[in-house]
A and B are shown apart, each in its own frame.
Chain A
Amino acid sequence: MSGHGGSKKTRATRAIQAAALIVTFGVLYGVTRVTPELETHLGTVAAVGFLLLAGTLMSELLETIGLPHLSGYLLAGIIGGPHILHLVDHHTVTELSPVNTLALSLIALAGGAELRIETVRSVARSLAWATLIQSTFVLLCMAGVFLAISSYLPFTQGMNSKALIGVALLWGVLAVSRSPSACMGILSQTRAKGPVATFSLAFIMLSDVVVVILLATMLMLARPLITASGGISLEDFSVLGHELLGSIAVGVTLGLGLAVYLRLVGRQLLLVLLAIGFGLSDTFAYIHVDSLLAFLAAGFVVTNLSDQGPKLLHSIEQTGSVVFVVFFATAGAHLDIPLLQRLWPVAVALCASRAFFTVVAGRISGRLAEDPAILKRWGWSSLVSQAGLALGLSVVIAKAFPSFGEGFRSLAIAAVALNEMIGPILFKFALDRAGETDRNEPEIRPSLPPAPAAE
């Protein structure tokens, strides 16, 4: 994500960008029409190039109407994806999962590195109230909304009221999950600084841990309600406890290692980040460690236990400028547009009510925490976005309850699709209105020092 706010590019530049976007679409469109039969890996290479270039250009063009870059990346993916122009097919989207793994690890690492203890301390009261209210109030309200519209959902037909309550609680958990990637994406683009940005970052990173705990709790509570033979088992909490503590321990170790490397060597950070993103994510999955939490802890340690945080953040920003574009554009290509077309009335109702209750919860927690006015007004704005985490939760729920899992997951995909599109726009709008975005032009690269003439 290129980090520049309201850049003042000329009309000629915009025209060139529009023409280049047409060329980009045109090249891949022509190639896919000539060779509709894909050799999978070749499709992947072209798709990465397309998503990167089209995402970058689309984001630049949408910037002129005030939309965040992230929306441009998503839109490029949606248009080029399997449901519209079919320049990037389903298989390719699946093949790009390593990019997602890398991006998520970088996002978590950056998220942790952005959290300075003193900053967290300054918003600790707000965080505590917001976490409590957003997690309980929104969860219960959304469970209620789900119950109210359950008669319109095909996969809840024939369920008794106890089972419906169980499914509704699970939907409530899904509703309180946020999107760390969208939050980091917008903050990275806008370079926002201020109470809304600080609170949003801290809250969303913390909410990742809260949601994992909530999911385990609700799975435990919902199981006896949904399946007649099921009972409450504390085993889930034991496993969860091990996973959380293990993740933090591994993350702290990684963070200390990174800090030492940054201090003693401090070079080739791109390759180190690639190795960490690809290699460690798989290792973490193998040893049942939550990689998001572990990377978050690692970033937190680097920033707060050493003076290497800025160096780490700078490197992630450089790497992420390419990786994040592909990540979000792939997410756009992954959006199931036909499903959204089919389920849009219910999805819209669920998304609208979620946004409404999030705003209400934000106002309540803001009042209880005695937040500054700006935070009371816009503190909720980053909490609308949903993306990979919510989809991941829906997969877990679908696996845990195969009887209705697929329908539940489809509805989650449709709802997340809407939140994924609308959330970043709202957050950027709020940051702009709160006056926290950086509207300065990015630095133009200085002239090169003279290179050696001989070879």
Chain B
Amino acid sequence: MNAIAFLLGLLVLAYLGSILVGGRAIRGFGLASGAEYLVLGFVLGPQVLSVVNRQLVDSFQPVLLVGVSWLGLVLGVSYLRVGQRPVPLSRVALGIAMSALVSAFVSTVVFFGASYFSPLPQAEVIALAGTAGIVCSETTRHSVRWVVERYGAKGPLADLAADTARASALFAALGFAVVNAWLSGAALENFSVLQRVLVSLGLGVVLGFTAALLLGREFRRDESWGILLGTSLLGTGAAARLNLSPISTTFAMGLTLAIVSPHRLDIKAMVTPTEKPVLLPVLLLAGACVNVKLPVPLLVLVAAALVAKLMTRIVCGALLSVTLKPVNGVGLEFAGSMLSSGALGLAVALALSVRHPGVVADTVLLLASLGVLLGEWLGPGALRRALARAGEIKPEVPPEGAEPSLPSEA
């Protein structure tokens, strides 16, 4: 397949994604995390049919980089709000804490496992452990939204699920900034890890402020696209050239915009419909990049990381069921619902694969992909059961007038 044909294929996917954002016509179509596109990419990729080979995927590196960074921006812009409702700070803290807990446990398991059983040198073991923890820490908000909207759920548990899922993105974005700074190559070699992290986030903050100032008091859509695209591409390219994490930079930029811009809702409404059209091609490319032909110890480590993630989520669910009223009695189901992962975990894994290709990146990408599939298998069903038991939906009966399966929130 040549590059133009492949590009057209990606555009068709983006087209499909954009229809999924806005269409009532295909209600109920698609999976919550978009895992089917990941599988499609894997099947088309070099591991199965070789319709899309690695060289072709590599030639799309800039597109990939821009795509994952744009996802970072969208996550940042929409971080503090669910719809138009602000996320309470306590929920933000809870989401971050749960992500940190999962990440720490997964990283520990992977670190010790890799140290004892894998042939990797120490530096790569640390990188693997750190990134594995990060990709497992996210709960995708798409899955929560999918269930909530599909079943017309409303209530404190639905809000809690939505808020904590959204809040989990911050830990992954910041965590990847740290890992990437630790991995940094030739650029900024005289800088410490902390300084590199500050540069990657500071770049995003500066560009976020700049964009907020330029968008100013009057919001003109034609100018706004140029400003948002320009600042995000500049941030992405600059961070990538400095061997820093572009996702973290654009996330910081988006978050800055969400905090300081008076037009935060307009900006959110502008960028969120673009998420699906960007995400689906990214999922396809991610699937094509997945390499399952890894040494057996690393495959075992991937399985161990997924088990560790599952266990930590169960512990989190148990803790929440005794400390938070909405989770009371549905701790296990709520824990299962938090297993859903998607855009950010895969974006981090892909960014690592693009910037630091090798066995560590392949392992992390495989882990992220399997995490998406596992989350798809367990997450939406668990959340539906939790919401039904909490009395926030009628079990098994999708109400009339339910929203489409993969809508993007305004």
Contact = CB atoms under 8 A, between A and B. Distances in A.
A43 B241 CA distance: 7
B267 to A, nearest CB: 10
A271 B9 CA distance: 12
Interface string A6-28: 00000001001101100110011
Given A49-B233, A49-B234, A451 B15 contact: no
B369 interface: no
A448 B269 contact: yes
Contacts of A57: 214
A364 to B, nearest CB: 40
20 contacts: A16-B214, A17-B214, A20-B210, A42-B241, A45-B236, A46-B236, A46-B237, A46-B238, A49-B232, A52-B226, A53-B227, A53-B234, A54-B230, A271-B11, A322-B225, A452-B403, A453-B85, A455-B82, A455-B148, A455-B149
B83 A453 contact: yes
A453 B234 contact: no
A45 B227 contact: no
A318 to B, nearest CB: 7
A56 interface: yes
Contacts of B89: none
B202 to A, nearest CB: 11
Contacts of A20: 210, 213-214
A118 interface: no
Contact of B237 (A3, A47, A455): A47
Interface string B68-95: 0000000000000011110000000000
B158 to A, nearest CB: 7
Contacts of B277: 271
B40 interface: no
A454 B213 contact: no
B44 interface: no
A42 B18 contact: no
Interface stretch (B216-224, B254-262, B282-290, B318-326): B216-224
Nearest to A272: B15
Contacts, number: 185
B230 A268 contact: no
Task: Please name the 10 residue pairs, one residue from A and one from B, whose CB atoms are nearest each other, closest first.
Answer: A46-B237, A49-B233, A451-B410, A53-B230, A49-B234, A45-B237, A455-B162, A52-B230, A453-B83, A41-B62
Interface string A46-65: 11111011101100000000
B4 interface: yes
Interface stretch (A228-236, A273-281, A350-358, A392-400): A273-281
Nearest to A60: B223
Interface in A420-455: 442, 444-445, 448, 450-455
A38 B206 CA distance: 23
A278 B181 CA distance: 36
A267 interface: yes
A301 B207 CA distance: 43
A321 B213 contact: no
Q: Name B's interface SS.
A: helix
B374 to A, nearest CB: 22
Contacts of B82: 453-455
Of the listed residues A34, A48, A53, A56, the one surrounded by the most CB atoms of chain B closer than 10 A to its CB is: A53
A451 B83 contact: yes
A49 B235 contact: yes
B193 interface: no
Interface string B174-202: 00000000000011100000000000000
Contacts of A52: 226, 229-230, 233
A4 to B, nearest CB: 8
A267 B203 CA distance: 36
B132 to A, nearest CB: 26
B222 A442 contact: yes
A152 B89 CA distance: 75
A272 B235 CA distance: 27
Given A2-B220, A27-B238, A322-B225, A279 B233 contact: no
A325 interface: yes
Contact of A49 (B61, B221, B236): B236
B229 A49 contact: yes
Interface string A314-357: 00011001100100000000000000000000000000000000
Given A271-B11, A454-B82, A455-B144, 9 more contacts: A2-B223, A2-B226, A28-B234, A38-B241, A268-B15, A271-B15, A275-B12, A448-B269, A454-B83
Contacts of A448: 265-266, 269, 410
A32 B240 CA distance: 12
Of the listed residues B15, B158, B203, B241, the one surrounded by the most CB atoms of chain A closer than 10 A to its CB is: B241
A23 B8 contact: no
Contacts of A322: 225-226, 229
B337 to A, nearest CB: 13
Nearest to A15: B213
A175 B335 CA distance: 72
A406 interface: no
Contacts of A13: 216
A17 B18 CA distance: 33
Nearest to B236: A45
Given A43-B241, A448-B269, A453-B84, A53 B226 contact: yes
Nearest to A56: B226
Nearest to A13: B216
Interface in B1-56: 4, 7-8, 11-12, 14-15, 18-19, 22
Contacts of A48: 233, 237
A44 interface: yes
Contacts of B225: 318, 321-322
A45 B219 contact: no
B385 interface: no
B265 A321 contact: no
A317 B62 CA distance: 25
Contact of A46 (B15, B18, B159, B233): B233
A440 B157 CA distance: 51
Contacts of B240: 39, 42, 45-46
Contacts of A278: 4, 7-8, 11
Contacts of A282: 4
Contacts of A159: none
Contacts of A321: 222, 225-226
Nearest to B163: A455
A322 B266 CA distance: 19
A220 B4 CA distance: 35
A238 interface: no
Contacts of B232: 49
B390 interface: no
A45 B65 contact: yes
